[in-house]
Structure formats: C-alpha cells, structure tokens
Amino acid sequence: MSSLTFLGAARTVTGSKHLLEVDGRRILFDCGLFQGLKELRQRNWGPLPILPDTIDAVVLTHAHIDHTGWLPRLVGQGFKGPVYCTSGTADLCKLVLPDAAHLQEEDAKFANKRGFSKHQPALPLYTQEDAAEALSRLKPFPFNTKVSVGAGMEVEFINAGHLLGSSYVLATRADKSGGRILFGGDLGRYARPILPDPSPAVEADVLLVESTYGDRIHPDEDDGETLARIIKETIAKRGKVIIPAFAIGRVEELLYWLFRLEDQGRLPKLPVYVDSPMALKGIEYYNAHTDELDQEILAMRRKLPRFTAVNSAMESKALVDNDTPSVIIASSGMATGGRVVHHLFAGLPDPRNTVLFVGYQAAGTRGRQLVDGAHYVKMYGQQVPVHARIEKIDGMSSHADAGEIVQWLRTFPRAPRTTYLVHGEIVAQDALKARITKELGWNVEIPSHGQKVDLPL
C-alpha cells in the first residue's frame, strides 16, 4: 500500500510538503515554510496530521525556504530521521535555515517589544538551535546517484536548473513493483545564464510538477534592455535603484546582467551594492560549485564582477543614509524581511528612487502590495507613502513558464499515469491543466491541501 498526502504547496505556491507512505514507512518530500497571506502563514504554527517522530526521512528538492524552511520546526517537534539532498542544497541550507531562524526570533522579539502579539510572550516558530539541529541531519549526495532511503525505496536527484543544487527527485520502489514517482520540485528555465537547462525527464508512473507560472509566458529575452533603461532613467533623476532579491540565485543573475551591460558600454559604471550577508555567502557557494553551472557564467566569473559587499549592519545603515545614485541589491525578495526593509522604509517616499522587483511576489507579501500599486505600505508599525517608481521584470524568474513546463513535459518517454499540479495559485493551475490536457492528452489533477491519494506503487 502506498499513498501520497499533499501537506503544502497545494493550490498555493509555498509550504511544499508531500508525504509519501509506503508499507507504513513515511518519507516527506520537501519541508517548506508557508509564506504570504496570514491564513497561509498560520499553517506554519499548526501540527501536521501525523506525528513528526513517525516520519522516517525527509528528502529536499532544493534549498529555497518554501521547500526547506519548516525543517527546523519539524526537528523541534520531534523528527529524528535523516534529510537527503544534493551537496549544493546542503550548502545553501547552511545559509537559509539559520537566517530563517534568526528572522523568526527577531519577529518574536519585535512582537514582544511592541506588544502586538496575541501570545504572551510571543515565541519564535523555531530557534537557531532547531536550525543547527536540522543542518546536522543533512545527508548530501551527488546528482544522478541512487540513494537508498529505506523500505525498499531509492531516490535519485536530477538537475532541475532552478537554483544551485536544485533537483527533481525520482523515487523508485526498488524492492517490488519498480513503481516510480517523480517529485518535480521547482523547474528551471531553458537557455538562461548561470544555471544549466532542466535535465530531460525520466520515465515515471506519477509526477508532481510545479505550476507557479502555469498561466503565463515570460516576456522574450530582451538582452537586458529593460534593466538598462530602468537603471539609466533612475540615475538620471539621481535616485537609487533598490532591488529586493532572493539572496541566492537571483543575485547571481542580476550581477551577471549588470556587469554584462557595463562591459558592453550600455550602462555607466555605477556603485553596485550587495547588502545581504546571505547573498554574499551564496556567491561563495556558487563559486565552489562551478561544475554545476552554465558554462556561459564561467567566462564572466573570470573577470571578477565588481560590486561592493555590505558586510555589517552599520555599513547597511550608512548605505540607507547615503544619497549617491546607486544600485542596491538586498534581500528578502518579496520585501517581507531582511535589510531591504530598511532601504524601502527610507526610499519609498522619495520619487527619485525606483524599486525594481525581479521575482515572483506571492499574495499577501509587501512586494505584492507594491507591485499591485499600493499607495502606502505598512513597515515598522507605520504607513509609509509610496512615491518611488515601482517596476517589475518578469523575465528573470528562475521558474519555468507555461511553455517551458510543457516543453519539459514533452521530454517524458511516456505519459505518467497521473500528473499532479502543485506549487501554483489555482488560476495558474486551471490554465496549465487545460493546456496539458489539450496539448498532451495527459491525466492531470489539482490536489487540495491535506488531500491523500493512493499510488500505483
């Protein structure tokens, strides 16, 4: 008997958690944090429908927080098993999990100081100790290697081209039926700098695939033209370009474009700041795994990109107060936390500045409010007026769009018996389901939160 229960990223883009049960053994694929709307974030505080100490192992597709950020909570609640992932994922987890714990602790501290929590005292979702304990469970493996995870199940990580170390995971019932389920994780894009194309798919009976951009096609590659124009127009007004960016992955791509444009004489030499300790460490990890990256980036790396690392909170504060036209890349990407919040607090009321979003903005985040044209956003308990120009470049997404998802699906040697769409909002999922049904004739399901399905394994 085997089954799959969708415990997150079902009809929403965050909180990825898929529970595979095979002959009474439980393996959790991804252990992500819910982000965005309050009703979603509240799920982070609720218990799983099963006890964490009954889960035998966790398998991570990649290090993004919506796929790993609940792991310290799971550990704090009694999970005792190993966590399998690629070595790139293990490295990036060393950045994202302690950082997430720090943010949780800061949130709790801040709520206690201001007294705006219903709970007295407000407690963090998890602590630095929980994050450290979670990291100690990581078991890194190379791509394309069969790893036994018990109960006759084997997993194999296959490069998904979405982030350093990102994979889709093939789980095979090696003992009996040979049944195969492919956990799609997040799917990367074709012909992009930095990361390789997603690897072609392998045969599977059941597939889980993301659908973040299931109703959209990314704009055609414009060779950095939009980025160059926005920066030049802002600098002409003597403003700053504030770019909230996910600390890892996206920062790499932004730096690539900035220096390419500068190198080609399409942008003047400007001060470029990376104001995120995590992003700076992430750049080091990318440098340590160049064999997993797109060959195009390697040539650029040899030129040593020029940027200023903002190393301390004090330097960050000085940068907030500095009026020089510049480009500031700071996390978090949806402006929900991190140093970018200070830059926005100071920068949003000034019409000379531009806030440029380069990634997906989930419903309920401050980033989404700004992209949707909010006149005020709440920060540090205050309503901050938005006079800065708000811009968005979609092309830099690390998620496949609808066309790229279908392009990848076409690489399957045969249609899976069932394809489950996960990691998308329902509008995107409905559109993608219609498209896959029409173009490929596949059997597609959109599972709901908490739904349990039997598997043909």
Give contact residues for Zn ion (rule: CB under 5 A).
64, 186
Of 63 and 131, CB closest to Zn ion: 63
The verdict on whether omega for the bond into residue 121 sits within 30 degrees of 0, i.e. cis, is yes
What is the distance between the alpha carbons of residues 219 and 216, in angstroms, rounded to a whole number? 9
CB of 394 to Zn ion, least distance (A): 16
Least Å distance, CB 398 to Zn ion, is 7
In the complex with Zn ion, which residue's Cβ is closer, 138 or 319? 138
Number of continuous H segments (helices) and E segments (strands) in the chain: 14, 22
Name which of 64 and 250 has its Cβ closer to Zn ion. 64
Q: Which is nearer to Zn ion, 92 or 101 (CB)?
A: 92
Nearest by Cα to 90 from 155, 128, 144, 137: 137
Nearer to Zn ion (CB atom), residue 186 or residue 401: 186
Please identify, using beta-carbon distances, which residue of 26 and 368 lies nearer to Zn ion.
368
In the block, tokens 């909170």 appear at 313
Strand, coil or helix: what is 140? strand
Q: Which is nearer to Zn ion, 331 or 354 (CB)?
A: 331
d(CA 45, CA 104): 12
Q: How far is the CB of 126 from Zn ion (least distance, A)?
A: 20
Element (DSSP H or E) covering residue 221: none
Closest among 405, 246, 385, 266 to 329, alpha carbons compared: 246
CB of 163 to Zn ion, least distance (A): 6
CB 343 → Zn ion: shortest distance, Å?
24
Q: Apex CA 80: angle with CA 74 and CA 82, to 5°?
A: 95
Q: How far is the CB of 318 from Zn ion (least distance, A)?
A: 33
Q: Which is nearer to Zn ion, 130 or 186 (CB)?
A: 186
First to last CA, the chain: 7
Amino acid at 226: T
User: How far is the C-alpha of 383 from the C-alpha of 375, rounded, in Å?
Assistant: 9
CA distances from 176 to 149, 167, 172, 263, 457 (A): 15, 25, 10, 57, 9
Query: Residue 2 carries which side chain, given as an amino acid letter?
Result: S
Q: Residue 369 Cβ, how far from Zn ion at the closest point, in Å?
A: 22
Between CA 189 and CA 166 the distance in angstroms is 12
Sheet holding 418-422, edge to edge: 147-150, 153-159, 167-173, 180-183, 206-210, 418-422, 444-445
Tell me whether residue 5 or residue 16 sits nearer to Zn ion (CB atom): 16
* Distance in Å, CB of 15 to Zn ion, minimum: 12
CB of 67 to Zn ion, least distance (A): 6
Q: Which residues contact 231 (CB under 8 A, 6 or more apart)?
A: 241, 267, 270, 327, 354
When the beta carbons of 64 and 368 are compared against Zn ion, the nearer one is: 64
CB of 399 to Zn ion, least distance (A): 7
Q: Which is nearer to Zn ion, 186 or 292 (CB)?
A: 186
Contact criterion met (CB below 8 Å) for 391 and 356? yes
Shortest distance, position 162 Cβ to Zn ion, whole Å: 6
Assess contact for 381 and 114: CB atoms under 8 A.
Answer: yes
